């Protein structure tokens, strides 16, 4: 891999955050070629590229079909998960603010919808399947349709949010935003949200209105949940039930 | 897949499981007739479905597949399949049923139940399917191949096949081995990811050492198989090439691939062993993300909190804006400081002043070209013909082209237009060599013509 090729590989990875040697269907332009270049690269070039990407705030991870599911026979995938210790300056949350726009509602409203949909989606991915955040390979089981997400969101709003009493609220901005939705709004925001997640490489579009968590999304979740998401959740509002520690009987009997 | 061996194996056991007899009743077994159709219709369909799913799992790395795609694949085997029939069969295959049995493995008699009986797995939300591990077992058992613990036996079969010259079966044997290794590897990883494998667990104490053992022995067998293939090729390759339907080179490659896969599984296993050994029992239940969302309703997060979450986990990507000097060309005026603007005088004495090539070129040919333009358009070919590309004996083609690119250098007063032909011309002579070019034309704009 010469310098120019390394630049192309790097540009592709920064833009798409993943590439496969045998992509599903045709893959993206140049994907096959660049992924194979990277796969065949010597150790020195690889180390150099890894260093560069680390400077941008990413790790370079390679997985083959013996290490995860959902890859073609003999295929290999390269992923670019974010590093928590070095948040990339190349990205900005403005993208989310812009892409969640329906009409001219406020930025706060858009952010509320994004965040709420995001956690409902995570509940579909993890909570409902009894899947813990470290389970990466089960990402292939997470297929959902837009209607599934919309339904889950409706259920969440009707069964949980609407039943909250005013006295449980420390601030009513999110509450008011959710309970004032007219019915069609959830569907529209869900559409925006899914598009955004697909473009941001967090969700794979399988075609025919079927989506699922991307391998990159699952990997970032595994890498960053303990130091990133857990403390964030604790800081914004500790879970009332706390986190159960499941201890198997054998452990207690052996001491 | 043949389902009869499986049924033979389990039919009577199922009868006993479902027995209606109460203790003390007659010992005669009377429920001889089986309910249902005797035409094997749904069983046949089930076998096709399982085979199709196995093939797809092999190609796609255990992916789920949509109902419609599955129907198409099934119809390739049996064109008359009705979609409702297929749906019925899938519903049955994907539904777990609870079985009860008494387990005597550790001296006691414990009643245990098992619900892991569905052969096909369906996703919660979409109409997608794939084989469960039980389903894969069913196929393996029906064809006498079992899980990774028996890989050694499979490799031995491979070796024997090669030794006896039965080379036709080698590809299917090595494919089977590859699949076995892949599923074993992914499943082991999955178990560790679940966080339930530590150094006291069954997997760590029993399964992993056994895997290591299997890998070691299987590798050895594969080495022998490869060596055997090599010698096949070396000794009597000429006759072989004529009589065999398969290429020995291909076979060698296939065996090598299995060997490499096994080796990489071995490396993986070492790494996984390290991870598992370090881990303490820290299995936690899945986070309740709905509760997290609800907490955010109760206590709205601050913008800073949201931004930090977006940056770490949000769907962000590059907008594709890469700054380049070309973006600002012509829009930015560089302001110089006064000192820089002051004229600079050459203070060195005796330095020979070299005139700029462009100035020399214009000095030499400027007037001629202007004069020529007065009498009509000037094609590039003509300028080349007249030798206006040579300055003081050296070729200065770039300067001549410069006039064609920026004709205002010739004259400021009169507008000159540039005409570009559609065709590409070629030219070859002693001065410029081989040239492929567009025969551009310079022409003065006729003021009267447009009016």
Query: What pLDDT was estimated at residue A250?
Result: 41
**One domain for residues A172 and A127:** yes
Please answer yes or no on whether A174 and B320 come within 8 Å at the CB atom. no
Two tokens, residue B305: 């909190």
Among residues 132-161 of chain A, which lie with CB inside 8 Å of chain B?
132-138, 140-145, 148, 156, 160-161
Inform me whether the C-beta atom of residue A244 falls under 8 Å from chain B C-beta atoms. Answer: yes
**For residue A72, is it within any domain?**
yes
What residues are paired with B401 via a beta bridge?
none
Domain boundaries of chain B, sorted by first residue: 1-17+37-135, 145-281, 357-450
**For residue A148, is it within any domain?**
yes
Q: Which domain holds residue A172?
A: 94-236
Please answer yes or no on whether A132 and B312 come within 8 Å at the CB atom. no
Q: What is the DSSP string of B225-286?
A: HHHHHHHHHHHHHHHHHHH-SS-HHHHHHHHHHHHHHHHHHHHHHHHHHHHHHH--S--BPP
Is-contact B264 B271, C-beta < 8 A? no
Please answer yes or no on whether A178 and B291 come within 8 Å at the CB atom. no
**For residue A13, is it within any domain?**
yes
**One domain for residues A217 and A109:** yes
**For residue A248, is it within any domain?**
no
The mean pLDDT values, 10 residues at a time, for chain B of 451 residues are 74 83 82 76 87 82 84 88 88 87 81 84 83 82 61 74 75 78 79 71 74 79 79 62 64 80 80 71 69 83 81 72 54 61 56 72 85 86 85 82 81 79 80 81 70 37
Is the pLDDT confidence value at A252 over 60? no
Report pLDDT digits (tens) over B188-214.
777 777 766 666 777 777 777 777 877
* Distance in angstroms (rounded) separating the CA atoms of residues B103 and B107: 9
Query: Which of B264, B298, B312 lies nearest to residue A237, judging by beta carbons?
Result: B298
Query: What pLDDT was estimated at residue A78?
Result: 92
Two tokens, residue B208: 């992993």
Inform me whether the C-beta atom of residue A237 falls under 8 Å from chain B C-beta atoms. Answer: yes
Query: What pLDDT was estimated at residue B128?
Result: 86
Report pLDDT digits (tens) over A163-197.
877 777 777 778 777 788 777 888 888 888 898 88
**B439 φ, ψ to 5°?**
-80, 80
Nearest to A219 by CA among A132, A95, A119, A133: A133
Please answer yes or no on whether A208 and B66 come within 8 Å at the CB atom. yes
Count of domains forming chain A = 2
**For residue A88, is it within any domain?**
no
Report pLDDT digits (tens) over A66-97.
788 888 887 889 998 888 877 776 676 777 77
Report pLDDT digits (tens) over A44-54.
888 888 888 88
**One domain for residues A70 and A104:** no
Partners of B281 on chain A (C-beta within 8 Å) are 247-248, 251
Q: CA angle at residue B118 from B113 to B121, to 5 degrees? A: 135
- What letter would DSSP give residue A246? P
CA atoms within 13 A on the CB side of B441: 13
Please answer yes or no on whether A164 and B298 come within 8 Å at the CB atom. yes
ipTM: 0.80
Is the pLDDT confidence value at A204 over 60? yes
pTM to 2 decimal places: 0.59
Average pLDDT of A103-110? 81
Q: Where are any strands of DSSP class E within B29-127?
A: 65-66, 99-103, 110-114, 120-122
**One domain for residues A101 and A36:** no
CA distance A172 to chain B (A): 7
Query: Which of B63, B285, B298 lies nearest to residue A140, judging by beta carbons?
Result: B63
Is-contact B314 A198, C-beta < 8 A? no
**One domain for residues A38 and A134:** no
The band of A244, judged by pLDDT with boundaries at 50, 70 and 90, is very low
* Distance in angstroms (rounded) separating the CA atoms of residues A137 and B189: 8
Partners of B264 on chain A (C-beta within 8 Å) are 64, 66
* Distance in angstroms (rounded) separating the CA atoms of residues B89 and B76: 17
């Amino acid at each position: 891999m010469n310098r120019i090729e390394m630049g192309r590989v790097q540009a592709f990875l920064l833009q798409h955050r993943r590439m496969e040697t045998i992509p599903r269907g045709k893959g993206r332009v140049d994907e096959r070629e660049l992924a194979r270049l990277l796969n065949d690269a010597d150790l020195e070039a690889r180390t150099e590229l890894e260093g560069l990407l680390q400077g941008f705030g990413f790790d370079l991870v390679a997985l083959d079909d013996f290490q995860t599911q959902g890859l073609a026979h003999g295929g290999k995938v390269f992923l670019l998960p974010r590093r928590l210790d070095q948040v990339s300056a190349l990205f900005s949350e403005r993208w989310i603010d812009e892409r969640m726009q329906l009409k001219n509602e406020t930025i706060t409203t858009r952010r509320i919808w994004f965040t709420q949909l995001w956690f409902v989606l995570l509940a579909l991915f993890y909570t409902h399947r009894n899947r813990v955040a470290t389970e990466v390979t089960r990402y292939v089981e997470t297929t959902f349709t837009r209607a599934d997400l919309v339904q889950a969101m409706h259920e969440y709003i009707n069964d949980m949010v609407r039943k909250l009493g005013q006295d449980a609220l420390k601030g009513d901005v999110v509450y008011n935003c959710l309970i004032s939705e007219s019915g069609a709004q959830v569907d529209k925001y869900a559409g925006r949200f899914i598009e955004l997640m697909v473009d941001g490489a967090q969700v794979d579009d399988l075609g025919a209105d079927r989506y699922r968590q991307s391998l990159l999304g699952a990997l970032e979740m595994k890498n960053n949940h303990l130091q990133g998401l857990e403390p964030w959740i604790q800081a914004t509002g500790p879970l009332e039930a706390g986190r159960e520690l499941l201890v198997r009987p054998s452990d207690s009997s052996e001491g | 897949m043949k389902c009869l061996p499986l049924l033979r194996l389990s039919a009577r056991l199922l009868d006993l499981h479902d027995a209606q007899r109460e203790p003390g009743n007659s010992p005669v077994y009377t429920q001889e007739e089986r309910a249902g159709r005797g035409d094997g219709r749904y069983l046949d369909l089930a076998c096709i479905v399982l085979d199709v799913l196995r093939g797809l799992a092999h190609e796609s790395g255990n992916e789920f597949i949509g109902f419609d795609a599955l129907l198409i694949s099934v119809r390739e085997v049996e064109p008359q399949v009705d979609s409702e029939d297929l749906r019925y069969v899938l519903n049955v295959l994907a539904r777990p049923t609870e079985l009860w049995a008494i387990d005597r493995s550790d001296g006691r008699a414990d009643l245990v139940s098992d619900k892991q009986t569905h052969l096909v797995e369906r996703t919660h939300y979409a109409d997608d399917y794939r084989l469960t591990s039980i389903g894969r077992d069913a196929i393996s058992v029906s064809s006498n191949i079992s899980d990774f613990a028996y890989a050694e036996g499979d490799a031995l079969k491979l070796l024997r096949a090669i030794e006896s010259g039965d080379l036709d079966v080698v590809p299917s044997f090595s494919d089977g081995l590859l699949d076995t290794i892949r599923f074993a590897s992914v499943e082991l990883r999955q178990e560790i990811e679940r966080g339930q494998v530590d150094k006291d667990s069954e997997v760590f104490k029993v399964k992993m050492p056994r895997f290591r053992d299997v890998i070691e022995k299987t590798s050895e067998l594969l080495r022998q198989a490869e060596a055997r293939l090599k010698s096949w090729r070396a000794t009597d390759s000429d006759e072989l090439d004529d009589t065999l339907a398969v290429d020995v080179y291909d076979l060698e490659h296939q065996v090598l691939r299995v060997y490499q896969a096994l080796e990489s599984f071995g490396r993986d296993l070492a790494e996984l062993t390290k991870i598992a050994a370090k881990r303490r029992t820290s299995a936690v239940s899945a986070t309740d993300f709905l509760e997290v969302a609800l907490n955010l309703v109760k206590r709205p997060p601050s913008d800073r909190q949201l931004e930090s979450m977006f940056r770490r986990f949000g769907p962000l990507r590059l907008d594709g804006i890469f700054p380049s000097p070309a973006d600002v060309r012509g829009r930015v005026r560089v302001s110089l400081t006064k000192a820089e603007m002051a004229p600079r005088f050459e203070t060195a004495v005796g330095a020979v002043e070299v005139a700029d090539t462009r100035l020399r070129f214009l000095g030499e040919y400027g007037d001629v070209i202007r004069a020529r333009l007065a009498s009509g358009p000037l094609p590039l070919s003509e300028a080349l013909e007249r030798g206006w590309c040579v300055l003081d004996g050296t070729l200065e083609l770039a300067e001549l082209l410069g006039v064609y690119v920026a004709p205002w250098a010739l004259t400021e007063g009169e507008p000159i237009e540039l005409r570009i032909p559609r065709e590409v011309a070629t030219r070859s002579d002693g001065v410029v060599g081989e040239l492929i070019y567009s025969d551009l034309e310079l022409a003065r704009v006729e003021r009267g013509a447009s009016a």
